[in-house]
């Protein structure tokens, strides 16, 4: 199954998540791509919407290849296999980590607004959403952030995720919900007719509506 755009994917995902409507739920998006998907889910469930700011740690010579991820509160997840195969030195890894950590802090302030606080997740069911998952390192970091803030239950929910990654994510989350789980996923964007980057204006609009 493919999707017209992220909003279409969000509506399809929301149908699978409707049994959670009667729970104390908060919907958390991985920006930017996860926001339009999560907004549809939050609307369908009548739940508050917030973001979990996480950045991929790209291999210096291949920035699209993730060797890990860093999120709010200094949570870091490394993929040691990728680092070893790509021959990334500790110094190179730390340079990438410092740069992306600063970007996480900047984006958290920009998206929520100066002085704005997170939606509380303590004791609640947190549904953590992205527009798709190929490797899982970014979502793993997001789950650890949410767990550290006291979520009683974490549900990873995505339109599409590689089947082998689901097993990995179940070590971090209490449940994984997906519309499609292909055996291989080389590109999340290939599952969308329209995979245009989410603009600054759309980010502000979706968070303001929430």
What's the rounded Cα separation, in Å, for the pair 145 and 140? Answer: 9
Which CATH entry fits the domain spanning 6-50+120-209: 3.40.50.2020, 3.90.320.10, 3.30.2320.50, 3.40.1360.10? 3.40.50.2020
* Residue 28 CA neighbour count, 13 Å, CB half: 28
What's the rounded Cα separation, in Å, for the pair 163 and 182? Answer: 6
Range(s) of the chain covered by CATH 3.30.1310: 55-112
Residue ranges for the chain with pLDDT beneath 50: none
Range(s) of the chain covered by CATH 3.40.50.2020: 6-50+120-209
Question: How far is CA 83 from each of CA 21, 69, 138, rounded to the nearest angstrom?
Answer: 41, 12, 15
Residue with tokens 């996860």: 34
pTM of the entire structure? 0.85
Q: What is the pLDDT of residue 64?
A: 79
Q: What is the pLDDT of residue 137?
A: 82
Q: What is the pLDDT of residue 40?
A: 97
Q: Does domain 55-112 have CATH number 3.30.450?
A: no
Q: What is the pLDDT of residue 163?
A: 93
Q: What is the pLDDT of residue 196?
A: 95
Beta carbons within 10 angstroms of residue 71's beta carbon: 26
Sheet containing strand 175-180, strands side by side: 49-51, 25-29, 125-129, 153-160, 175-180
Q: What is the pLDDT of residue 73?
A: 81
Look up residue 141 and give its two tokens: 């970091």
């Amino acid at each position: 199954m493919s999707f017209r755009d992220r909003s279409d994917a969000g509506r399809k995902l929301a149908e699978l998540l409707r049994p959670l409507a009667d729970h104390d739920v908060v919907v958390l998006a991985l920006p930017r791509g996860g926001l339009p998907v999560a907004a549809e889910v939050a609307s369908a469930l009548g739940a508050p919407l917030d973001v979990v700011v996480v950045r991929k740690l790209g291999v210096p010579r291949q920035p699209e290849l993730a060797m890990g991820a860093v999120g709010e509160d200094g949570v870091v997840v490394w993929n040691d296999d990728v680092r070893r195969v790509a021959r990334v030195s500790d110094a190179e890894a730390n340079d990438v980590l410092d740069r992306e950590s600063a970007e996480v802090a900047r984006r958290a302030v920009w998206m929520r607004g100066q002085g704005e606080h997170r939606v509380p997740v303590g004791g609640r069911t947190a549904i953590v959403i992205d527009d798709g998952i190929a490797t899982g390192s970014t979502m793993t970091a997001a789950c650890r952030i949410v767990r550290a803030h006291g979520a009683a239950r974490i549900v990873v929910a995505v339109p599409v995720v590689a089947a082998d990654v689901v097993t990995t994510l179940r070590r971090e989350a209490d449940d994984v919900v997906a519309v499609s789980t292909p055996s291989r996923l080389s590109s999340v964007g290939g599952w969308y007719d329209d995979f245009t980057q989410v603009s600054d204006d759309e980010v502000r609009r979706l968070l303001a509506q929430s």
